[in-house]
Amino acid sequence: MEGYNLKKIENLFQYDITYLVNESTEEGFQFLERLVNDYKIGTNTFKAPGESLYGVFNNDGALIAIGGLNIDPYLHEQKIGRLRRFYVSRAYRRNGIGTVLLKEIIRNAKLFYKVLVLHTDTEQADKFYTSLGFLRKNTYPKSTHFMNLK
């Protein structure tokens, strides 16, 4: 991933996420707005054990992709993680950035969870996730895909 920097985000507000939020909203997605709001009020800061938030930055230091890992909030099972707030800027799609970001999240998830789940409602995202090993089944509450990690 030459020319890009993947790193764990310890403090979301250390970075300018405005562009990604605006772009995702234009595409009809509200989940990055929720990311900012939840982070601001403290309901989801990706700080519990096994949770993390990652960003991909271009050479200019701009945040171009983001994705997080939480304990699944819809289950009372600590061994199920949920992929959250995953978004790649339109201009950077289809060049491997999303794959690198997702593989890092999966690598981290394997340290803490036996299953990783996610929810998506777009055909493009479905193809992306299944191409990387997720199964399309709503086996778990409020999820469309899952991956066995163990």
Q: What is the pLDDT of residue 78?
A: 76
Q: Which domains does the chain have, with CATH numbers?
A: 5-148 (3.40.630.30)
How many other CB atoms sit within 10 Å of the CB of residue 112?
19
Q: On the CB side of 143, how many CA atoms lie within 13 Å of its CA?
A: 25
Q: How far separated are the first and last CA of the chain, in Å rounded? A: 27
Q: What is the pTM of this model?
A: 0.94
The DSSP-derived string for 52-86 is EEEEEE-TT--EEEEEEEEE-TTSS-TTEEEEEEE
Average confidence (pLDDT) per 10 residues, the chain, 150 residues: 88 95 94 96 95 95 96 87 96 92 97 96 93 94 94
Contact 84, 69 (CB under 8 A): yes
